[in-house]
Amino acid sequence: MRGLAITAIALHNFCHLMPGAVRENESDFLAENLKRLAATDCGTWQGVSDLISFFGWYGVPIFIFLTGYGLVAKYEREGAPFAVRGFLQSNWLKLVNLMIPGILAFVISTTVVSLLAGHVGATWSLRYLFQLTMLPDLVFPWYPPVPGVYWYFGVTLQFYVIYALAIRRRPAWWMALMVAGSLALQWSVDPASWWLSWIRHNAIGWMTVLVMGILWGRYPSVRRWPAIVVAMVAPLIFIPSMLDPYTWQLSILAVVVIAYLVARLSLKIPLWRGMWIWLGRMSPFIFAAHPLVRHWILSAVDRPESSFCLIAGYFAAVILAAIAYRYAWRFTSRLLSARICRH
């Protein structure tokens, strides 16, 4: 499921920047995007790119679901040691370690481009440093994350805080209250407003799918017939639920079920299974590296147009960059760990 999710996200974040691309309904709901999607010619590469642009972001709720599931699997089912302070500190360091090579590469890239253009990129450097605090999500859109896709690091840290303080060893009705509050808050604002965009850039906008992952982890055994009904209903409601700003919230739950079914089927095909598992294991590095590859390619191509060669070349470059990123991450992690140990 991680492999499916990261592939969708990496391709989406490239395709939605193509000129004239059909934009997604991710952090807000715009009926105009649905109209443009309906007019898409799926028989062209521009049409394929538009479909990736519109639907690819659904990899995000899959990752959030897996975050909730993984926390339960590690700390509740496997019994890993848990102390709130140590848990939050180690996870913050893990996320910072993952960002550092990417931010360094971005600072170098933007500085070089600025110098070649006769400008100074100090402001960008300060924004990158602020990103290491993982606070930009809280002040969005006034001081947005840089690079933009790194907003997910901040919201992931928020999930860890919520799990540690409000979910672990708390009554189940706490989660019910958080889901109800999340939905009520999102339904109470204009679906095309920046208020909804702020909500969706923070954990409060994703409580439904986080709680779904936690419940799936706590109750892995589901009776056969309810499971069959859910498996049949999820694909049927996925598209219709996206057509309304209120039922739109159901689509993120439906896509998790669909991804689970696809993953289960993929396990039966050895080579296919192996590819997705490998991509899943590389997903942290693909996520951290792909904005840099996207930046380089879009800066190098004068007038980018969607084509098989461009999209395939981009994803191949992302894979190579992710492999290199993993080595850079290991190096910076050792340096940071050694410095912390000395202090």
Query: Which pLDDT score, from 0 to 100, does residue 169 have?
Result: 86
Q: How confident is the model at residue 342 (pLDDT cuts 50, 70, 90)?
A: low
Out of 115-119, 267-271, 331-335, pick the least confident.
Answer: 115-119
Cβ(132)–Cβ(143) under 8 Å? no
Number of helical (H) and strand (E) elements in the chain, helices listed first: 15, 0
Cβ(199)–Cβ(184) under 8 Å? no
pTM: predicted TM-score of the whole model, two decimal places:
0.93
Q: How far apart are CA 19 and CA 57, in angstroms?
A: 18
Strand intervals (E) in 142-295: none
Q: How far apart are CA 104 and CA 125, in angstroms?
A: 9
Average pLDDT over residues 238-265: 94
- pLDDT single digits (tens) 125-177: 778 889 989 999 999 988 889 889 999 999 999 999 999 999 998 888 999 99
How many domains would you assign to the chain? 1
Its domain, for residue 193, covers: 2-342
Q: How far apart are CA 243 and CA 311, in angstroms?
A: 28
Please report, rounded to a whole number, the percentage of residues in the chain having pLDDT higher than 90.
73
- The count of residues in the chain is 343
Query: Which pLDDT score, from 0 to 100, does residue 224 have?
Result: 81
CB count in 10 Å sphere of residue 267: 11
Please report, rounded to a whole number, the percentage of residues in the chain having pLDDT higher than 70.
94
**291 phi-psi bin (left φ>0, alpha ψ -120 to 50, beta other):** alpha
DSSP classification of residue 192: T
- What tokens were used for 156? 């992931």
- pLDDT single digits (tens) 76-115: 999 999 999 999 999 999 999 999 999 988 888 877 767 7
- What tokens were used for 140? 């969005």
- pLDDT single digits (tens) 178-205: 999 999 999 999 999 999 999 999 999 9
Q: How confident is the model at residue 343 (pLDDT cuts 50, 70, 90)?
A: low
